[in-house]
């Protein structure tokens, strides 16, 4: 680790502790060259997840896009932002823990629909109507009938 003051490349760790969010480790270091102290943070490096879309194009997973879709589905519904962020976080965790580095957008959509089904049925149907590209009212009614039969 290079000292930010003198660029000397050797330092010793004086103190280590978890950061407030417990996602990183905070280390206080002392430069072996000039003796000044500085702080570094160590975090787990996440492997990027690639999403394979319906047209076989590929793009990095973007949790903000997923959250935007949930926000639209939950608009004017009693679903808190915290709940939607938790759903996105849970999906992101599943993707990180999966063995596959490339996942389909269909799988992500199914995970989102499964989560929404347990939170708000109206938001679930809204999300499903866009995700499954309902062509007409009959497709919409079929999905509603599935929900009703599960109750």
What are the pLDDT tens digits along the chain (151 aa)? 899 999 999 999 999 998 777 778 999 999 999 999 999 988 877 778 999 998 999 999 999 999 999 999 999 999 999 999 999 989 998 998 888 889 999 999 999 999 998 899 889 888 888 777 777 777 777 777 777 787 6
What is the pLDDT at residue 70? 95
Sequence ranges of the domains in the chain: 11-43, 50-150
Query: How far is the C-alpha of 31 from the C-alpha of 22, rounded, in Å?
Result: 26
What is the pLDDT at residue 23? 76
Long-range residue pairs from 106-113, CB within 8 A, at least 24 positions apart, any chain: 106/54, 108/51, 108/61, 108/66, 112/66, 112/69, 112/70, 112/87
Please state the pTM of the whole predicted model.
0.64
Sequence-separated (6 or more) residues with CB below 8 Å from residue 22: none
Q: Is 69 exposed, middle or buried (0-12, 13-18, 19+ CB in 10 A)?
A: buried
What is the pLDDT at residue 107? 92
């Amino acid at each position: 680790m290079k000292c930010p003051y003198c660029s000397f490349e050797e330092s010793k760790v004086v103190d280590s502790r978890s950061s407030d969010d417990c996602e990183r480790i905070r280390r206080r270091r002392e430069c072996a060259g000039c003796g000044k102290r500085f702080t570094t943070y160590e975090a787990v490096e996440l492997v990027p997840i690639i999403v394979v879309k319906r047209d076989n194009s590929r793009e990095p997973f973007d949790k903000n896009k997923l959250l935007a879709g949930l926000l639209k589905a939950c608009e004017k519904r009693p679903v808190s932002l915290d709940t939607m962020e938790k759903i996105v976080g849970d999906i992101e965790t599943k993707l990180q823990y999966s063995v596959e580095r490339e996942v389909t957008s269909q799988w992500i959509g199914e995970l989102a629909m499964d989560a929404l089904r347990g939170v708000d049925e109206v938001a679930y149907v809204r999300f499903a109507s866009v995700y499954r590209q309902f062509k007409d009212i009959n497709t919409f009614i079929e999905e509603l009938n599935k929900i009703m039969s599960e109750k």
